[in-house]
Structure 1
């Protein structure tokens, strides 16, 4: 070979290649309302249409959209809607969609949709569930609720040991950061026992559980160990955990993820995603800088912050029991997460240093820990089952847990809560029945005491809404379901009814006659509401905290005193003749509109 043979002599340049674009597109897709980490891709050709993309998405996400017929995928109906977006991966995708999304029509070629291909690390397609497309107002409410949860968690909290110091915690409570009744203004009207039945059932079991020999031996051991003095908190709580371990309740002291703080004890769900129990303790009453009840709440919040993506998407208030030990005393609280962390004490503080002859205290402790075992089993079962995602049409997590009642014929009737609850602060809710043809409007009221007999009597006279259902609930609650009346808040007719009530059977009293409980349709047609205090004459008594400050009441109408018939008649006089003295009447005098558009002064 010569030297020339070692060189390239001829270069042939062919015609430029004609680009036909990518053979396949792989857009990143996301179902609106799902966990933003649940992003998926589909493999689709540019020559295919949006309808083809819908079909691929349906198959990729089985069984999410199995109820959507294939024949609807090529129509403009709202059975399955997809939007083109271009947004970076972010935890707040829901907020971006409404500003940047472009709805895609079924027959549009994907080559027209993605002219420039698809960029990496972006969301390209958002799938809107049929329910979302159908209930746009509900979607707005859902987004708002989720956003409030995100905003609450995004604020973050101090480390539990620092944030639970009274000086720091009290500042947070100026803004009602934690709804824990400290101070009393930092509270939610709906207690945790109406948001999670496990808490209410725990309270009942603390009073009614038949303690076993195992329970009795456990509290004896616990009392002996906790009544001793220890050099530090770690030693005391290590002994506490060991005694409970021997009893069959196993806690571990672990770091709460991002906080790098170690809990005194905790119990996670079997899948590790949910906090069932948090234990917090102090060596003695007053020892340490942090308040133990507050510290337990902060640990609970920190755990939720670390798993917030999954947490805020679920139809659950995420119940968690707090066990608080301070020296030889122990307390129990229950926490939930709606839009704030809410925590209520569930049972009285139990001193564990009782006298050996104080059997009452020992039985109370044995029942309480027996009830704790039962509650932990229920929480374990709750969190072992799939928790459905929160849908736009779902009621607020702040509504009580009952969603059905039993009719007079023994049938179970489900109901839903309305979007707006103007009387939530009085534990009065409005909704309508579901699954029936009527969609009956109902009022759902939660009370500690109610006289069904008095209500039924007044309803039979046409002067009270029909009582649809009445049922005792756990935790000392009762749910009352009645017709929801579209009415607004006179003397002979009302007085006559009350006198008849006093003579009915052995006689009943109402006990709380105020103009807020009298609703007038016209000058003679009225409805009487609120039978919380009602009961038999000479047996019914006033509850605690009878308001005598800005409501005028008869002499003798005090906490715990008997409600007598004369009290009812006196209250009516105060309503209809407030001008006879300078005292404040049963409610402020005001003008009310009647159904006929006239005005009536009360």
Structure 2
């Protein structure tokens, strides 16, 4: 529990040398604050320090925090190991009561009930609970056209049930990114491959229908209804599918959408395609692609369906005519994408027509489609997903169990890049999990590319990451971790991401690295495009080279961090 609110001083001052470490500053804060008398004693690891970006006066701190919904990242930058302590004394603003630092207290909280443990581990119980919560919210929302309007959409993205499309509320809410949708069904991977393939053979009838569609779409119509009457027939011919308006099997398609459905093996009606028209882009006060997301979600919710995925797979395409010598090029591009859609709808229809609850249990909605791998080109090994190993919508790492006579527990993850050579180097020394597979998501000859994603399979290590530990580090922890980094460097590798979640202490007290997404040869391995601020050593930057000096700096920070856990 935090200190008694009645005795809590909202603000206080500490005096410390500018050359002091972050750990020393946290100790001083504990000694000077109400945390000093807290039972059990507060550790430095339970304090996060934040530097306000703008002036926050002591008298207005409550209002500022409430406006930020107590998400400190929206109003301040977290102070990390290696920060210049002297700079923390500078105030944002000249007022004497301006706040230098905000202290965040993280109470110890170990889950005790089964429900709390499920929530902590993202087990099926917790995932189903969240899914039900999503459906309930979808049923209560306004019509898709209203939900997609700026104010409503912004509110949705800042709430507990956002659309996972990457758009986010700038000051509220959590992450709205999710794993690629093609990991959940290869149909979407096939579509992306076809749409990007200039050599794809497109039937002449599709090209002709597309040309007519573009001529019709170029007209400036009075409203969405006259546009619908003008373009829908041409669109049906281009995608080679009938579109049914209004109601599909007693389920209302919101906002005059049209759709094409298929009956699955268990008797449920599945919408494969939904289409809506707007008079002009933005004429209804919303982004039509966002409205389409809400339309699909609304249908799934009211039909109590077993799937809910929505993702933009193309950019906005220009469907109009405009240049006498280049219109053909654009027409062929649009025709290729529409033909790719038609091909994908045929695959999707076949998939749903054979889908039953026994071949695809409800729990499968939470996990990727791939369920097998070929270790070292050997016999196929099938597995089933047990749980996500990270919290949040962006999780791409899972605990799995093989379907063998003697089942094994494995970790399966997906990544764009992976330092398999560095991983295997450490695994041979027992300093990383055994790597069982690192290669294409599906290596079969007719499989889609999955946008060159990799599937990585490794043994499951029973232990705790440094991020999860409250202390009790094994003897020689620093020496073990130093040896790991030195072994990588001596063989010409860099690691790049030596943070607490990637360092594990196994049950036998051996230290291991468990994530090699960024690892590679020095001079070749680089940081990713998106690199969070305030977490990396000096010189580290997005797309910049990872150096051994960076690794050594993070090693020092890791040791400093672990020392705070003993306070």
Task: Tell me the TM-score normalised to structure 1 length.
Answer: 0.59
Report which of the two has the higher share of strand: 1
How many pairs align? 411
Whole-Å separation in 1 of the counterparts to 2:526 and 2:333: 27
Matched, 1:277 2:273: yes
Return the alpha-carbon distance in structure 2 between the equivalents of residues 295 and 465 of structure 1: 45
165 and 410 in structure 1: CA distance in 2 versus 1, 3 angstrom threshold: same
Corresponding residue number in structure 2 for 1:397: 365
2:427 pairs with one of 448, 452, 459:
459
Could you give the per-residue CA deviations for residues 499-554 of structure 1, whole angstroms, max 9, x where no partner exists?
Answer: 443454xx3322222233222349983211211112333232221111222x1323
Indicate the residue corresponding to 1:207 in structure 2: 196
Larger Rg belongs to: 1
Question: Which residue is equivalent to 1:296?
Answer: 292
For residue 288 of structure 1, report the CA deviation from its aligned partner: 1.6
Q: Which runs of 5+ in 1 are unaligned?
A: 1-138, 318-336, 579-587, 593-598
Determine the structure 2 residue equivalent to 1:438: 406
Task: Work out which of the residue numbers 143, 153, 161 in structure 2 matches 1:159.
Answer: 143
> Structure 1 residues 291 and 410, CA, compared in 2 at 3 Å: closer, same or farther?
same
Segment drifting more, 142-151 vs 398-407: 142-151
Match of 1:514 in 2: 499
Alignment equivalent of 1:351, drawn from 297, 309, 318: 318
Q: Any stretches of 5+ residues in structure 2 without a counterpart?
A: 1-122, 442-449, 467-476
Instruction: Classify 1:208/1:568 alpha carbon distance in 2 versus 1 (closer, same or farther; 3 Å).
Output: farther
Q: Deviations over 1:141-186 (max 9, x none)?
A: 4996599279627944433334433344444444344423342636
Q: Which is further off, 507-516 or 444-453? A: 507-516
Instruction: Tell me which of 235, 239, 251 is aligned to 1:244.
Output: 235
Equivalent residue, structure 2, for 1:566:
549
User: For 1:220-249, what per-residue CA distance to the aligned partner results, in whole angstroms no more than 9, with x for missing partners?
Assistant: 544444333223222333443333333342
Q: What does residue 37 of structure 2 align with? A: none
Q: 1:460 to 1:420 in 2, by over 3 A?
A: closer
Change (3 A) 1:442 1:243: same
Instruction: State the match for 2:347 in structure 1.
Output: 378
Could you say which structure has the greater relative contact order, defined with CA pairs below 8 angstroms and 6 or more residues apart?
2
In structure 2, distance between residues paired with 1:590 and 1:207: 52
Shift of 1:305: 4.3
Please tell me whether residue 232 in structure 1 is matched to residue 223 in structure 2. yes
Contact 1:207-1:364 at 8 Å conserved across structures:
no
Aligned equivalent of 2:516, options 531, 546, 571: 531
Q: 1:406 to 1:423 in 2, by over 3 A?
A: farther
Change (3 A) 1:387 1:226: same
* Matched-pair contact (CA < 8 Å) for 1:404–1:413: yes
Q: Distance in 2 between matches of 1:561 and 1:303?
A: 45
Post-superposition Cα deviations, 1:111-163, rounded to whole Å, max 9, x if no partner, equal xxxxxxxxxxxxxxxxxxxxxxxxxxxx9949965992796279444333344
Provide the C-alpha distance between the structure 1 equivalents of 2:484 and 2:387, rounded to a whole number of angstroms: 35
Counterpart for residue 259 of structure 2: 266
Q: 2:384 aligns with which of 407, 416, 420?
A: 416
Q: Distance in 1 between matches of 2:522 and 2:329?
A: 34
Helix, strand or coil at the partner of 2:194: helix
**Does the Cα contact within 8 Å between 2:499 and 2:554 map onto a contact in 1?**
yes
Aligned to 2:283: 287
Relative to its length, the structure with more helix (as a share) is 2
Instruction: Report if aligned partners of 2:138, 2:297 keep a CA contact under 8 Å in 1.
Output: no
Q: Distance in 2 between matches of 1:552 and 1:412?
A: 40
Give the secondary-structure state (helix, strand or coil) at the position aligned to 1:454.
helix
Answering whether residue 376 of structure 2 is matched by residue 387 of structure 1, we say no
SS where residue 179 of structure 1 aligns? coil
Deviation per residue, 1:75-120 (Å, 9 max, x gap): xxxxxxxxxxxxxxxxxxxxxxxxxxxxxxxxxxxxxxxxxxxxxx
- Please report how far the alpha carbon of residue 468 of structure 1 lies from its aligned counterpart in structure 2 after TM superposition: 1.2
